[in-house]
């Protein structure tokens, strides 16, 4: 889960606009509810069923995992 200002700082360094980074499947840059919706959409659109995350973000994403468990 990433704050908007991080996305704003990250995007130009990658040659993108902040709004573009929010749509990239490599990043989870939203609230818990938005991340849940994004993951569902990515599963439907791209067939992604697994997500690899850095170990230091696992605790932050635990609520998302709980919400998606069994879906």
CB neighbour list of residue 50: distance below 8 Å, 6 or more residues apart: none
CB neighbour list of residue 8: distance below 8 Å, 6 or more residues apart: 18
Residue 44 lies in a domain: yes
Copy the structure tokens of residue 62.
């635990």
Residue 51 lies in a domain: yes
- What pLDDT score was predicted for residue 48? 86
Residue 55 lies in a domain: yes
Residue 71 lies in a domain: no
Give residue-wise pLDDT tens across range 10-62.
Answer: 778 778 887 777 777 777 777 888 889 988 988 999 898 888 888 888 888 89
CB neighbour list of residue 15: distance below 8 Å, 6 or more residues apart: none
Counting the structural domains of the chain, the total is 1
Q: What is the residue range of 24's domain?
A: 4-66
- Is the model's pLDDT at 5 over the cut of 80? no
Distance between CA atoms of residues 68 and 47, nearest Å: 15
Residue 29 lies in a domain: yes
Q: Is the whole-model pTM more than 0.75?
A: no
């Amino acid at each position: 889960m990433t704050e908007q200002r991080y996305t704003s700082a990250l995007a130009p360094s990658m040659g993108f606009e902040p709004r573009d980074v929010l749509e990239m499947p490599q990043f989870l840059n939203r609230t818990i509810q938005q991340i849940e919706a994004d993951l569902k959409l990515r599963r439907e659109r791209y067939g992604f069923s697994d997500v690899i995350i850095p170990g230091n973000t696992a605790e932050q994403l635990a609520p998302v995992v709980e919400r998606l468990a069994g879906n």
